[in-house]
Chain A
Amino acid sequence: MGVAEKDKPIANPLIVLREEFDDWAILFDPDTGNAVGLNPVGVFIWKLLDGSHTAEDILKKLRESCRNVPEEVEDHLQDFIQSLVERGLAGYEAKKA
């Protein structure tokens, strides 16, 4: 399945994005106490998980904003979003029936 066919991921509003320094950050889940480190690209993506950007939109913005974007960026992006979803840090808005 291509990126363009994905829905619009949305960050779990309960999760705290704690930006530290040098554009690195922590995602903190106050319900579990777990914290996940994010590199600057991860932070860039996280901020676009607002329910209005598709993965394809995010990919486009990444290519516009970052240098030396690897060819396999699409797979990396999908894996990253999927890992966030699996950990309950992000999800997709449920569509009304």
Chain B
Amino acid sequence: MKLMSSPQSLDLDITNRCNLRCRYCSHFTSAGDVGQDLAKEEWLQFFEELNRCTVMNLCISGGEPFYRQDLPELMEGIVKNRMRFTILSNGTLITNEMAAFLASTHRCDGVQVSIDGSNPVTHDAFRGEGSFSRAMEGIEHLRRHRVSVPVRVTIHRENVHDLEGVARLLLEDLGLPSFCTNSASFMGLCRRNAEVQLSVSERSLAMESLLNLSKKYNGRISAMAGPLAEARNWLMMERARRERRESLPGGGYLTGCGGPMSKMAVRAEGVVVPCTQLNHMELGRINEDDLIEVWQNHPQLKRLRERGTIALCDFDFCTDCDYIPYCTGSCPALAYTILGKENHPSPDACLKRFLEEGGRLPDESLMNSSGNRH
């Protein structure tokens, strides 16, 4: 695969600060938790370099982006430098004025707000009291000004029995076109609050519930990771194994992440990293190192891009696994946080291990509905 001349998009931790301390936050206590923020002027200078590099999109996260009082000035810098942006937020600090400002830029592709329950009990369980009502107010402000709100639901032990209620709230009561899901995973604060993660039986339940809901709501629930993505992927792998297919696309190698071919990230203090989840891998510093040089020639980034040539059959971890030709090893960041090495299949995404620990896959017929096509 050929490398683009520059990254198409960048993920920026625009701040290290946040008004909440969600117990499964992937940021705090990770290598991205740098304890300081870049000054506005440094970000604005960097945006000019991104313009010269013809970067098209920025994903602004943190911390909580709306914690920064100078966020509007940063947005203006993005607009001035010919880019579009999305924002990842807990929603609690979004005011009517801010929503109006975002709409006025005409460059905001959406503000992803986290809603983890159908009511304050399940949402606030790990996010803190009062966060549900404030996040819902934030969504109201955004929708009033017609800013797209792609809600994200992080599934954990306290809301796994509330998924039907969440879907009803978001898709029926609020009338959102869709929402996406993931799950609390072994990163950041979740590493020391392991009780928030789904057990094997809860993971099985979540997979079945989400496939049922996806069918009920005609595919309006999506996932790049977490139980719904796993259900779809694992059912496909199981079918391929049963039918003795030679392989699935990308199967048999560590091809689970294509991120380093199109994007990079920057931590809150200005250090360039491959991804906000692979934030221990320091590649350079903005406004000091040339971004194109880092993108095209940094040895660590090159090695990460060559990860897809590493065969799963070379790992002891994969010995005697029937799913090797269908498996891509999944997320390198999760492999790193669990094992301390990114060039390894993620144990968390291992179907063989899941089944050995008593996990069960949903009924395959749930995949055959119109809402669950790949």
Query: Does B158 interact with chain A (Cβ within 8 Å)?
Result: no
Contacts of A35 in B (CB 8 A): 56
Q: Among A19, A21, A22, A33, which residue has its beta carbon within 8 angstroms of that of B54? A: A19
> Count of B residues near A, CB < 8 Å?
15
Query: Does B196 interact with chain A (Cβ within 8 Å)?
Result: no
Distance of A31 Cα from B85 Cα, bound (Å): 11
Query: Does B106 interact with chain A (Cβ within 8 Å)?
Result: yes
Q: Among A19, A30, A31, A33, which residue has its beta carbon within 8 angstroms of that of B5? A: A19
Min CB distance A21 to B, Å, is 5
Query: Does B109 interact with chain A (Cβ within 8 Å)?
Result: yes
Query: Does B82 interact with chain A (Cβ within 8 Å)?
Result: yes
User: In chain A between 18 and 34, which residues have their CB closer than 8 angstroms to a CB of chain B?
Assistant: 18-22, 28, 30-31, 33
A17 (CB) vs chain B CBs: closest residue:
B54
Distance of A33 Cα from B82 Cα, bound (Å): 10
Decide yes or no: A21 and B107 within 8 Å by CB, A16-B54, A30-B84 being known contacts. Answer: no
Query: Does A14 interact with chain B (Cβ within 8 Å)?
Result: yes
A-B contact count (CB 8 A): 34
Contacts of A30 in B (CB 8 A): 56, 79, 82-84, 107
Q: Among B4, B83, B107, B109, which residue has its beta carbon within 8 angstroms of that of A20? A: B4
Contact with A along B1-15 (1 / 0, CB 8 A): 011111010000000
User: In chain A between 27 and 68, which residues have their CB closer than 8 angstroms to a CB of chain B?
Assistant: 28, 30-31, 33, 35
Distance of A30 Cα from B83 Cα, bound (Å): 6
Q: Are B106 and A28 in contact (CB under 8 A)?
A: no
> Count of A residues near B, CB < 8 Å?
13
Contacts of A20 in B (CB 8 A): 2, 4-5
Contacts of A18 in B (CB 8 A): 5-6, 8, 54, 56
User: In chain B between 251 and 302, which residues have their CB closer than 8 angstroms to a CB of chain A?
Assistant: none
Min CB distance B239 to A, Å, is 36
Distance of A18 Cα from B84 Cα, bound (Å): 14
Q: Among A16, A19, A21, which residue has its beta carbon within 8 angstroms of that of B2? A: A21
Min CB distance A39 to B, Å, is 16
Distance of A35 Cα from B106 Cα, bound (Å): 16
Q: Among B4, B8, B83, B106, which residue has its beta carbon within 8 angstroms of that of A21? A: B4
Q: Are A33 and B4 in contact (CB under 8 A)?
A: no
A15 (CB) vs chain B CBs: closest residue:
B82
Q: Are B84 and A22 in contact (CB under 8 A)?
A: no
Contacts of A17 in B (CB 8 A): 54
Q: Are B56 and A28 in contact (CB under 8 A)?
A: yes
Q: Among B2, B6, B8, which residue has its beta carbon within 8 angstroms of that of A22? A: B2
Decide yes or no: A33 and B109 within 8 Å by CB, A16-B82, A18-B54 being known contacts. Answer: yes
Distance of A5 Cα from B2 Cα, bound (Å): 42
Distance of A16 Cα from B55 Cα, bound (Å): 9
B107 (CB) vs chain A CBs: closest residue:
A30
Which residue numbers of B lie inside 8 Å of A, CB to CB? 2-6, 8, 54, 56, 79, 82-84, 106-107, 109
Which residue numbers of A lie inside 8 Å of B, CB to CB? 14, 16-22, 28, 30-31, 33, 35
A-B contacts, 11 listed (Cβ < 8 Å): A16-B54, A18-B6, A18-B8, A19-B54, A21-B5, A22-B2, A28-B56, A30-B79, A30-B83, A31-B106, A33-B84
Q: Which A-B residue pairs are the 4 nearest by beta carbons?
A: A18-B54, A21-B2, A30-B82, A16-B54
